[in-house]
């Protein structure tokens, strides 16, 4: 479980996150939704400690992460897996070396054992026979899967995904979403996903946090999101004329 308490973040004198408090639950896919530029990525980077926060607390299973000394922060980081928006695979390494990187760094496994773990993770994300390819040689969807494989290589307790299906076609998006959800439940991980994709919201939104302009505007599940009564949220989910029409038809004005 990850808890955020009264978190604020400034860039210069610009407020990018404004007093955010919420809880992300274990074994669930927690979604952070909002328009482009609303502060989703900044929130995620604050939670994992890539950005410093000016105010507030971030708790990883009751431990106040952002006030820990560096060494102890590092111990928590070893339990974090993260999926970046552009996959962030290491260009200079093959797929196999990419997934092996965390194992090289933090385990004393033999090469054969590492290979076995790599193959297990790649198989888990339904990739086979790509070990020797470089990131430039595989498709966007495959890159995301390799990135997931790398993120789960060390059996993380926490998984962060920044727009996991940006730049993917709708079908591949669904596959990636489902994969993240399965892995989350299988290993009882606390997963936080940034997205502005309504497809993901409908299919894997177990807990949803909506931010707009750096403020937390609404929290709930995919069941009650359509009838939130929140003006900003409605504008966000029913942005296109088509979805607005569907809403008007089925729910009335």
Minimum Å gap between C-beta 128 and ligand ADP is 33
Residue in 36, 62, 71, 249 binding ligand ADP, rule: CB under 6 A: 36
Residue in 4, 7, 39, 201 binding ligand ADP, rule: CB under 6 A: 39
Q: Which does 142 bind (CB under 5 to 8 A by kind): ligand ADP, another protein, Mg ion, none?
A: none
Nearer to another protein, 32 or 151 (CB): 151
Residue in 41, 157, 165, 191 binding Mg ion, rule: CB under 5 A: 41
192 binds ligand ADP (CB under 6 A): no
Identify the helix (H) or strand (E) that includes residue 65: none
| CA distance linking residue 80 with residue 221, whole number of Å | 25
42 binds ligand ADP (CB under 6 A): yes
| CA distance linking residue 121 with residue 237, whole number of Å | 35
Per-residue contact flags (x/-) with ligand ADP for residues 2 to 21, judged by CB under 6 A: ---------x----x-----
* Listed ranges 18-26, 33-41, 56-64, 137-145: which one lies at the site for ligand ADP (CB under 6 A): 33-41
Nearer to another protein, 133 or 174 (CB): 133
- Binders of ligand ADP among 219-248, rule CB under 6 A? none
Determine contact, residues 196/35, Cβ cutoff 8 Å.
yes
Give Cα separations from 189 to 66, 98, 131 (angstroms): 20, 22, 26
Q: Which residues contact 97 (CB under 8 A, 6 or more apart)?
A: 90
Could you tell me which of 232, 167, 233, 231 has the C-alpha nearest to residue 205?
A: 233
Footprint of another protein (CB under 8 A): 45, 48, 50, 74-75, 77-78, 80, 82, 84-86, 88-91, 101-102, 104-106, 154
CA dihedral sign, ordered 209, 193, 246, 242: positive
| 186 exposure class (CB count in 10 Å sphere: 0-12, 13-18, 19+) | exposed
Kindly report the backbone phi and psi dihedral angles of residue 211, in degrees, each rounded to the nearest multiple of 5, phi listed first: -115, 145
Minimum Å gap between C-beta 50 and Mg ion is 13
What residue ranges bind ligand ADP (CB under 6 A)? 11, 16, 34, 36-42
What residue ranges bind Mg ion (CB under 5 A)? 41
């Amino acid at each position: 479980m990850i808890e955020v308490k009264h978190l604020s973040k400034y860039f210069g004198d610009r407020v990018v996150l404004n007093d955010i408090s919420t809880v992300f639950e274990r074994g669930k896919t927690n979604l952070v939704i909002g328009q482009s530029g609303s502060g989703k990525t900044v929130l995620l980077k604050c939670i994992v400690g890539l950005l410093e926060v000016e105010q507030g607390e971030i708790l990883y299973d009751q431990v106040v992460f952002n006030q820990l000394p560096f060494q102890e922060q590092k111990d928590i980081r070893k339990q974090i897996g993260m999926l970046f928006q552009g996959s962030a695979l290491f260009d200079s390494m093959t797929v196999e070396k990419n997934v092996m990187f965390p194992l090289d760094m933090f385990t004393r496994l033999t090469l054969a054992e590492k290979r076995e773990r790599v193959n297990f993770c790649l198989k888990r994300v339904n990739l086979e026979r790509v070990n020797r390819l470089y990131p430039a040689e595989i498709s966007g969807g495959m890159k995301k899967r390799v990135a997931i494989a790398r993120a789960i290589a060390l059996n993380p307790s926490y998984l962060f995904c920044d727009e996991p299906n940006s730049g993917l076609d709708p079908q591949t998006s669904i596959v990636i979403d489902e994969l993240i959800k399965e892995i989350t439940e299988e290993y009882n991980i606390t997963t936080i996903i940034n997205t502005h994709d309504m497809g993901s919201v409908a299919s894997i939104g177990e807990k949803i946090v909506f931010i707009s302009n750096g403020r937390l505007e609404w929290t709930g599940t995919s069941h009650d999101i359509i009838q939130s009564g929140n003006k900003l949220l409605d504008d966000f989910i029913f942005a296109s004329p088509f979805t607005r029409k569907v809403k008007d038809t089925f729910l009335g004005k």
